[in-house]
């Protein structure tokens, strides 16, 4: 390796959560990354799609390949190709919809079952409580405290409150995704 060659790392990140919580909005919203590309081919073939985003962490170039469903999380389980080789799993709920918070448990279980990581106890998850902008926070039904307790009791999963609409805390969340996945490599 030449002296000035930077290390490149590709991380596969998958985004899960109930339909409507804002998964697609979150991954399309943030401007941190220099490069963004959709692969339409995957959408057609496996009902999922990814965006590719690059960021620099210290002297490392990190490429996040962030996978999103094409909406079929409502109807059926996602195919094996969606889960295969994931380095980090982002679980999203809507702070205004209690059902979407309660569903985090099942999404996490489904991920562990399908992706079958070598060490499930330490696999990097991140939880995002989205749509905190709605009604100035007055319609939220899941408190930050409750969400943090859920995360703490599952091996201290990092937790972020976000708004895809107002582009709030999304860069921070995806930087954490990259750092957490790198740390567990
Ligand atoms: P997905 O089904 O999880 O991919 O959710 P979408 O990204 O399609 O979002 C569902 C709806 O919620 C859309 O109408 C979005 O515009 C809206 N939405 C997503 N994120 C936010 C947010 O942070 N705040 C508000 N107010 N609306 C949002
Ligand atoms: Mg979507």
The interface predicted TM-score of the complex, written ipTM, equals 0.99
Indicate whether residue 165 lines ligand 1 (CB < 6 A): yes
Say which residues have a Cβ less than 8 Å from residue 163's Cβ, sequence separation at least 6.
130, 131, 132, 133, 169
Which has more confidence, 18 or 81?
Answer: 18
Q: pLDDT tens digits for 32-81?
A: 454 445 555 555 555 667 788 888 888 888 888 898 886 767 666 777 78
**CA 80 / ligand 1 centre spacing (Å):** 26
DSSP 112: H
Is the CB of residue 51 less than 8 Å from the CB of residue 37?
Answer: yes
Give the least confident one: 6-15, 65-74, 118-127.
65-74
20 alpha carbon – ligand 1 mean position (Å) = 6
Q: What is the pTM of this model?
A: 0.91
Q: Find out whether 151 and 105 touch, Cβ atoms under 8 Å.
A: no
Above 80 in pLDDT, residue 125? yes
CA distance 46 to 23: 18
Higher-pLDDT residue of 96 and 77 is 96
User: Could you tell me the two tokens for 141?
Assistant: 């039904």
Q: Which residue has the higher pLDDT, 73 or 24?
A: 24
């Amino acid at each position: 390796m030449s002296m000035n060659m930077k290390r490149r790392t590709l991380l596969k990140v998958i985004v899960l959560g109930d339909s409507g919580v804002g998964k697609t909005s979150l991954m399309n919203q943030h401007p941190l990354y220099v490069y963004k590309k959709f692969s339409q081919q995957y959408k057609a073939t496996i009902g999922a799609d990814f965006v590719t985003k690059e960021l620099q962490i210290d002297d490392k170039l990190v490429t996040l390949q962030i996978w999103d469903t094409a909406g079929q999380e409502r109807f059926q389980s996602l195919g094996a190709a969606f889960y295969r080789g994931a380095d980090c799993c982002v679980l999203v709920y809507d702070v205004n919809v209690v059902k979407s918070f309660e569903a985090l448990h099942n999404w996490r279980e489904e991920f562990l079952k399908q992706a079958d990581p070598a060490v499930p106890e330490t696999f990097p998850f991140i939880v995002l409580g989205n749509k905190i902008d709605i009604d100035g926070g007055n319609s939220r039904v899941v408190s930050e405290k409750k969400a943090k307790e859920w995360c703490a009791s599952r091996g201290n999963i990092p937790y972020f409150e976000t708004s895809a609409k107002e582009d709030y805390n999304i860069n921070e969340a995806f930087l954490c995704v990259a750092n957490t996945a790198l740390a567990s490599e």
